[in-house]
Amino acid sequence: MIPVTGYEGRVVGVLGLGRSGLAAARALEAGGARVLCWDDGEAARTRAEAQFFEIADLSRDGAWEAGLALLVVSPGIPALYPAPHPAVEQARARGVPVDNDVGLLFRALAASDFDDFDTPPRVVCVTGSNGKSTTTALIGHILETAHVPCQVGGNIGKGVLALDPIHDGDVLVLELSSYQIETARSLAPDVAVFLNLSDDHLDRHGGRGGYFAAKARLFELGAPERAVIGLDEPEGRALADRLRGRGMEGESPVVAISASRKLPDHEPAVTARKGFLAERRGGRQTASADLREMETLKGAHNHQNACAAWAACRALGLAPKVIEAGMRTFPGLAHRMERVAEREGVSFVNDSKATNADAAEKALLSYDRIRWIAGGVPKAGGIESLRPLFDRVACAYLIGEAAEDFAQTLGEIPHEFCGDLDSAVERAWAASGAGETILLSPACASFDQYPNFEARGDAFRARARRIAGLPEEDAPEAEAGAGPASETGSDQETTP
């Protein structure tokens, strides 16, 4: 845990008692604050009470009579769109600042004394619509293989304040969603990565412009020394343009990355074309790596992730050969194109983390003959954008709330209504043949049937392993409160 100081003897409200909320409450108490906790879900409040946290309804006037100095909001809770939570309205009406765990982390780091450290801690933050988790995990893996002390957290793994106390030379690698960035009052990464932008969570941000603005805060408020920017979308190119010339003595902090475009020679760049990664500086190639045999980094989307991780690790001072060696041993990410079983030439692939169409597109592009399990809580636009890939689908097995809408979009493409995931897996297996892939890539959130995408992926993995005759294995331990058990307790399950 990283204690949060500056509120000794003062009262702080924590709204939302999922993973990040409980970690923030502990960190504030460790720093000497009195913490009042609230969650709209009774189960989340009961869990918090069992851990001896003080519960008070922060949406009501009575709780505010304690004289709150700060309101800390968990990422899943809207602070503005589509409507502010009543507790947030209370804070703003009373002139009480609203912050989140990410803002508190950077404030804690700024207040810490690292004069005795030979190497001060550094922070790498990764954001974007798709690929954040893979890129964050890949950076962490490369650092570990290079024997650089690091911790990985944020929107993946531990909440940022649940990380271990900072030690000499530590690097914090944080995946940050737009939800986490938009509310943070302090942002100060040493290296920040922007991968891409696609339509997602637009109701939360008041449209695509608000969504991009939330992401851009990491770079404009945070002012990183190095900004690794994906230039494959217009927003990335616009962000890079804003940042150029903002470095020391007018030097641009931008390192451009792309898996599809030829980039100008006047600034540092890392690109991937035809399976080869190339780093360029001063108009000439300075390093390269062959990505073609890296099984866990297949596909153009993963090549973009590899470029981003390479650029971030180079900014931290790692040598090209060290980075390449780390990439070659990267085990991949659970729930992201994770091959979990095989039987009679049929592969079972868990891509439960694909909670929107753009993410599902990456998986559909990676296999030729697919028995596709899709559905859940639909996102805006549904699967319309995936029409060009329907010829890869032998049959779609539809589950959850989105089934009817997805069926209309699929039209004459073979599809079946399965209701739940277990039925979909069994029916896909019964119809499959050698060389086919049974792919869970839902293009939807899981909240209609599962608390989070991890639970959905674990259920798929367990069913696939039973079909393949493999022994049961322990599912990865779920983070407490990580799903939407309540309105305010949910740390978002997807990758906004």
Do 374 and 398 touch, CB atoms closer than 8 A? yes
Give, rounded to a whole angstrom, the gap between the first and last alpha carbons of the chain: 26
128 is in an annotated binding site: yes
Strand pairing of 370-375 and 393-399? parallel
Angstrom distance (rounded) from CA 7 to CA 238: 39
Known binding residue 154? Answer is no
**CB contact set of 77 (below 8 Å; sequence gap of 6+):** 15, 16, 85, 88, 487, 488
- The answer to the question of whether 129 is labelled as a binding residue is yes
352 assigned binding-site residue:
no
Does 133 appear as a known binding residue?
yes
- Both tokens of 90, joined, read 């209370």
Q: How far is CA 158 from CA 89, 154, 169, 491, in A?
A: 29, 6, 20, 11
Q: Rounded to whole angstroms, how far apart are CA atoms 57 and 64?
A: 9
Residues 394 and 369 sit within 8 Å (Cβ to Cβ): yes
CA angle 358, 188, 235 (to 5 degrees): 30
Instruction: Map tokens 């990456």 to a residue.
Output: 362
Contact (Cβ atoms closer than 8 angstroms) between residue 2 and residue 105: yes
Contact 304, 197 (CB under 8 A): no
130 is an annotated ligand-binding site residue: yes
Q: SS3 for 456?
A: helix
> According to the annotation, is 452 in a ligand binding site?
no
- Yes or no: say if 437 and 339 are a contact pair by the CB < 8 Å rule: no
- Which token pair is 485? 């058990």
- H or E, element range at 61: helix 61-64
Hey, which bits of 183-239 come out as E strands?
191-194, 226-230
CA dihedral of 199, 203, 206, 211, whole degrees rounded to 10: -40
Query: Residues annotated as binding site for ATP?
Result: 128-134
Query: Residues annotated as binding site?
Result: 128-134
